[in-house]
Amino acid sequence: MSVIDASVFVDALVGVGVHGELARQEVRSQPTLQVPAIFGAESTSAIRGLVLRGLVLRGDLSTIRAAAALDQVRRVRTLQYPLEPFAQRVWELRDNLTVYDAWYVALAEWLGTDLVTGDERLTNATGPHRDVRLPGAVL
């Protein structure tokens, strides 16, 4: 089991090439995604950002595929965790991580597992007590 962040989930839905395939493998390996309660909003925001950056207009992301991705955000099996049990740990990580990233880290720490992210900066951050890795990376 790994904690999969929204960036990896969105890459699994709409990513192309090796990057997208590695993300899909990570997501497929989890029968239920264990995620912070912000996961759905983050995933929807990321898809919106791709649309606004013109990927739909350039043909890199069809409107049909974007709509299907949004449907998957609503339908994916998740076990969602509220912020409150993790708020202290999130606060402790404030100097190195955003609240949202720290929430994923705190959840991974509590579950005793790793965090899979598409954010290379997060993989190099100091503070997490669990491994943080990119999709497909072996620890």
Could you identify the residue written with the tokens 């720490």? 109
At 84 the pLDDT is: 98
CB neighbours (10 Å) of residue 6? 25
Q: Which CATH class is domain 2-133?
A: alpha beta
DSSP β-bridge partners for residue 61: none
Burial 87-111 (b: 16+ CB within 10 A, else e): eebbeebeeebeebbbbbbbbbbeb
Residue 63 tokens read as: 């409107």
pLDDT in tens, the chain (139 residues): 899 999 999 999 988 889 899 999 999 999 999 999 999 999 999 988 887 776 555 556 677 788 888 999 999 999 999 999 999 999 999 999 999 999 999 999 999 999 999 999 999 999 989 999 999 887 6
At 50 the pLDDT is: 81
DSSP β-bridge partners for residue 116: 4, 133
